[in-house]
Chains A and B, each alone.
Chain A
Amino acid sequence: MLIKKKQGLLQPYYLLEIISGLWITLRKMLFDKKVTIQFPEERRVYSDRYRGMHYIKAVNGVENCTACMLCPTVCPAECIHIEAGERSDKEKYPIKFEIDVLRCCFCGMCEEACPKDAIKLSSIYEMSQADRTVFDKGFLLDQRGNK
């Protein structure tokens, strides 16, 4: 809808309006606080519930995961690949645990599904890589974020 605003006497002649506009930009430039976050030095603080990069929780250096295959089943992006194996003490464990983060949609379903509290999402959000890395078990065990 066209809303006709009532104009002041001098408004149609722009000039005074332009001058007040110029003053606004000058004021913004000189006095306002700048909102830029200087990234590598300054970082934005995310909430603890932020869903970022995955990690596998370990107790005494042994990963909690028992390769129950719940997380690859629930994952909507089908990006978790696990190969199960048997440890010497007859416990099931993942020989291979890979997440194709390029496909992951960070929904957090894997974290919800896991009965052993093994797969978790950390608050790390800098995931740029120079190649198409598939995050493997060793790497995922290393990640912690704020947890």
Chain B
Amino acid sequence: MEVFDWGVLAIKLGFLLVLLLQIPPIMVWVERRGSALMQNRLGPNRFGPLGLLQSLADAIKFIFKEDRPPGMVNTFYWYLAPLISVIPAFMVFAAMPFASNLTLPSGQVVHLQLADLDVGVLYIFAIGSLGVYSIIMAGWSSNSKYALFGSLRSSNQMISYELSLGLSIIGILMSFSSLKIQDIVMAQAQPLMQLGPVVIPKYGIFIQPLGFLVFLVAVFAETNRLPFDLPEGESEIVAGFHLEFGAMKFALFFLAEYVNMTMACCMIVSLYFGGWQLLPGLPGLIGASGLTGFPLEALRVGLEFASFMTKVAFFLWFFVWVRWTLPRFRFDQLMNLGWKVMFPLALLNVALTAFLIYRGMF
């Protein structure tokens, strides 16, 4: 690679890292304020405008808190677990496209994606599922019954729902016949049908509603969010796998949870909601801007990025919203739902898609 490529890569990497590190504090704030408002409270509103700096205070607290391992922990794995939870969470973003390609005035093309992998979807699923190791390690090394229960539940849940998760996107992969996320997003720009003046694009949600439903539920289970937060189940097993972790180590688990959640939202958006495709109304705005050449290009890419982030933000909010609406499932209900409802539905979706493709519907 030349110097230019390295430079661009470094800038993209830095930007992505900064972006991702901003999301957890903001999400913590959204979660606390959101839950408070839903419960007719106000939530943290003192520090900074609307309490926005509360997360900063939390972060400072996490850094300066005393952090000592409890006796009898398996030290090596105990120190390793938080790292293993964070690293895959960040790694998966390498394959996520944030906008289409940007052509610089010099004619060079910048991909707004760290690595345009041919097997992007597989890569994300492979790396993303590594996260469960950190939970198992954390529970095992803590030498605590509660933590062990938490990690047992988590491994059980993750494996059960990973099946439905994997099967649910097969429909999408079949209808777009690609594993490259950029290709999938591009393909979603095609019109699906015309309803009067409104053109319905070929978004994944319109051609795979059943697959979307299964994917959504499975993704909630995979990210350990309520209503599937059995690994943490405060009322039953205290805090589950991260029970024995304090200070920054706990914060790392927290960070990983939110980054995973962001990734889940990015996947939902990219596979089912057209990824960085412009929101309705924006193409007209670009047309009306009257710019040409590079400024037009920059505006388009900027708006694409903004559209992507808006969609992701909506789903992040959706995660919070669901969390504070639904109570936790019982463990047998969770397993029933996973194996007797989600798994057959996912299989049915694959069969249905195959049949429709065979009949030439897509």
Contacts and interface: CB of A to CB of B under 8 A. Distances in A.
Interface in A17-34: 18, 21-22, 24-26, 28-29, 32-34
A22 B42 CA distance: 19
B38 interface: yes
A32 B34 CA distance: 13
Contacts of A32: 40
B39 interface: yes
A29 B38 contact: yes
A38 interface: yes
A2 interface: no
Contact of B325 (A18, A33, A34): A18
Contact of A24 (B34, B37, B325): B325
A128 B37 CA distance: 29
Nearest to A37: B42
Nearest to A19: B325
B123 interface: no
A38 B45 CA distance: 10
Interface string A68-106: 000000000000000000000000000000000000000
Most interface-central of A26, A33, A34 (chain B CB within 10 A): A34
A45 interface: no
Interface in B316-333: 321-322, 324-326
A28 B42 contact: no
B322 A35 contact: no
In this complex, the interface size class of chain A, counting residues with CB under 8 Å from chain B, is 10 to 19
Contact of A28 (B38, B213, B322, B326): B38
A141 to B, nearest CB: 35
Contacts of A21: 325-326
A29 B36 CA distance: 8
Most interface-central of B34, B36, B41, B325 (chain A CB within 10 A): B325
A36 interface: yes
Contacts of A18: 322, 325-326
Interface string B68-92: 0000000000000000000000000
A34 B326 contact: no
Contacts of A36: 36, 41-42
A34 B37 contact: yes
B324 A25 contact: yes
Contacts of B37: 28-29, 34
A28 B40 contact: yes
Interface of B: 34, 36-42, 213, 321-322, 324-326
Interface of A: 15, 18, 21-22, 24-26, 28-29, 32-36, 38
16 contacts: A15-B213, A18-B322, A21-B325, A22-B322, A25-B38, A25-B321, A26-B321, A28-B37, A28-B39, A29-B37, A29-B38, A32-B40, A33-B40, A34-B42, A35-B41, A36-B41
What are the 4 tightest A-B residue pairs by CB atom distance, in nearest-first order?
A36-B42, A29-B37, A25-B325, A25-B38
